[in-house]
Chains A and B, each alone.
Chain A
Amino acid sequence: MKLIVIMLSAIFVNNFVLSRFLGICPFLGVSKKVETALGMGLAVTFVMALASVMTWMVQYFILVKLGIAYLQTAAFILVIAGLVQFVEMVLKKTSPTLYQALGVYLPLITTNCAVLGVAILNIESNYNLVETLINGVGGALGFTLAIVLFAGVRERLETSPYPKALDGFPIALITASLLSIAFFGFSGLL
């Protein structure tokens, strides 16, 4: 039961983009088309799930044991960057199709603060390994949901009349804020 709560909470209530405001850069940058947004979401899901588990292990098996848990942030960034590079190489060799599909988004995720955010939140919430994995996957699914919804709205916006002064990022930011307000409606869910 606790696992379901963690999952739903990560996807809807504490949505990384729309409630916690993490990972805004790719959210605005790669959301012009639903297709590419979905690609980005998939890549993030992949990396977030792996990074959650890896950083959890680094935290409890290395940092806590040595009593240097305050190095969390630096160590996690190192782990995530190394992991993304490694995953990219493996994918290129073993699954060129998936590599093609994720394309340039995979290396971009290295600097996605949502990935670092989920890793640190896992530790702060004292999750065990399974809960960490669920939280990571849930958070990434929430990110995917948000970016795909947002891309859908932006695609419609292309053909809709709105004041010319708002062209480009202004209208995107207004849309994002409306979407964020909508997601606050989930706050009483759990």
Chain B
Amino acid sequence: MINDLLWPIVTLGGLAILFGIVLAYASKKFAVEADPKVEEVRFALPGANCGGCGYAGCDALADAIVKGEALVNACPVGGAELAKKVAEIMGVTADETERMVARVICGGDCDNAKEKYEYQGILDCKAAEMLAGGSKSCRFGCTGLGTCVRVCPFDAIHVVNGVAVVDDEKCTACKKCIEACPKHIIELVPISRQVRVLCKNTDKGKAVVEVCKVGCIGCQKCVKACQFDAMTFENNLTKIDYSKCTNCMVCAEVCPTKTIYADFTNRKKAFIDEEECIGCTICKKTCKFEAIEGELKQKHKVLEDKCTGCGQCAIKCPKKCIEMK
């Protein structure tokens, strides 16, 4: 009786232990020196070997990411969270290069832009594009049939009232929508830039007014209003140079057609910590909007209704006592 139980246990257990020892020995003996990063990235990946990334399993993808052949967000399963983890392992954090997000450069939604004809074909931008450039009156505008929505692996882009809108939180800048858009109106911009010209129409002002309420008519008011030389005007269209833009939002204020969008609710204001202020007047001289008053050797004050939140005073203040909030 006891033998009937003992031998099977000893045999199977013995075999298992033997294989365990052999494998343990083999893993040391045949260890291949690999980049430790590959292992770390591999560990972060889901490990389902689904092949959704286009590589043969998670190991192959980890290899490609470390070699630089694949992007850190190449895994469509892990989403933004995984991309962040992998980016950390690879040492490309958001601090070094500011996070980019896709933006749809068009404000011509159903209320602002007219329809040329009633489109009843396949609900796909590329198909509509072949029929006289889509049904929207403006030939540069968003078709709104959601080809970008369908290619987005992160559910970060949606059609709202006839125009595609990107969800900044979910966007990973994978560029799939940029490649898919037949109108070429999706661009990558740094996420902190909250001012945008929402028009791609290079026609003359009169032609623009006929097709869309919020198209750029080329009045160049924004170019004159910009205190930082960040607006350029070319091909009947104004463009923001984000390397110079300070988020002061003045351009959006003066734009007569409201083509320039700015997030006014999050507009910052300067605050001077009067305890620290030594009255040097540097901020007053720096301010291009005459929003700071005060005499030499006296505490300075910010005029809130004039401050645009450009933040130049905070950069110049020698005591670092100006805060933007």
Using A62-B11, A68-B8 as known contacts, say yes or no to A104 and B57 having CB atoms under 8 A apart.
yes
- Which residues of chain B come closer than 8 Å to A58, judged between CB atoms? 15
Does A103 lie within 8 Å of B23, measured CB to CB? Answer: no
Chain A, interface residues (CB within 8 Å), range:
20 to 34
Does B23 lie within 8 Å of A66, measured CB to CB? Answer: no
Using A78-B16, A82-B22, A104-B60 as known contacts, say yes or no to A71 and B30 having CB atoms under 8 A apart.
no
**19 other contacts beyond A62-B15, A71-B11, with CB at 8 A cut-off?**
A66-B7, A67-B7, A68-B8, A68-B11, A74-B12, A78-B15, A78-B16, A78-B19, A79-B15, A81-B19, A82-B19, A82-B22, A86-B22, A89-B23, A90-B30, A93-B31, A103-B56, A104-B49, A104-B57
Q: 9 closest pairs, A vs B, by CB?
A: A82-B19, A104-B57, A93-B30, A89-B30, A89-B26, A103-B56, A68-B8, A104-B56, A66-B7
- Which residues of chain A come closer than 8 Å to B23, judged between CB atoms? 82, 85-86, 89
- A92 is an interface residue with CB less than 8 A from chain B: yes
Residue of B nearest to A67 (CB): B7
Sample (11) of A-B pairs whose CB atoms are under 8 Å apart: A63-B11, A75-B11, A75-B12, A75-B15, A79-B19, A82-B22, A85-B23, A89-B27, A90-B26, A104-B57, A104-B59
A78, A81, A93: the one contacting B12 at CB < 8 Å is: A78
Residues facing B in A136-189 (CB within 8 A) are: none
Dominant secondary structure at the B interface:
helix
Does B15 lie within 8 Å of A103, measured CB to CB? Answer: no
A-B contact count (CB 8 A): 54
Chain B, interface residues (CB within 8 Å), range:
10 to 19
- B32 is an interface residue with CB less than 8 A from chain A: yes
B304 smallest CB distance to A (angstroms)? 62
B174 smallest CB distance to A (angstroms)? 24
Does A103 lie within 8 Å of B32, measured CB to CB? Answer: no
- Which residues of chain B come closer than 8 Å to A66, judged between CB atoms? 7, 11
- Which residues of chain B come closer than 8 Å to A75, judged between CB atoms? 11-12, 15
- Which residues of chain B come closer than 8 Å to A78, judged between CB atoms? 12, 15-16, 19
**What 0/1 pattern do residues 42 to 74 of B give for CB contact below 8 A with A?**
000000010000001101100000000000000
B8, B30, B49, B57: the one contacting A92 at CB < 8 Å is: B30
Using A78-B12, A79-B15 as known contacts, say yes or no to A103 and B60 having CB atoms under 8 A apart.
yes
CA distance A81 to B23 in the complex (A): 11
- Which residues of chain A come closer than 8 Å to B57, judged between CB atoms? 103-104
Residues facing B in A46-101 (CB within 8 A) are: 58, 62-63, 66-68, 71, 74-75, 78-79, 81-82, 85-86, 89-90, 92-94, 96
Does A71 lie within 8 Å of B32, measured CB to CB? Answer: no
CA distance A93 to B8 in the complex (A): 35
Residue of A nearest to B15 (CB): A78
Residues facing A in B12-46 (CB within 8 A) are: 12, 15-16, 19, 22-23, 26-27, 30-32
**What 0/1 pattern do residues 112 to 124 of A give for CB contact below 8 A with B?**
0000000000000
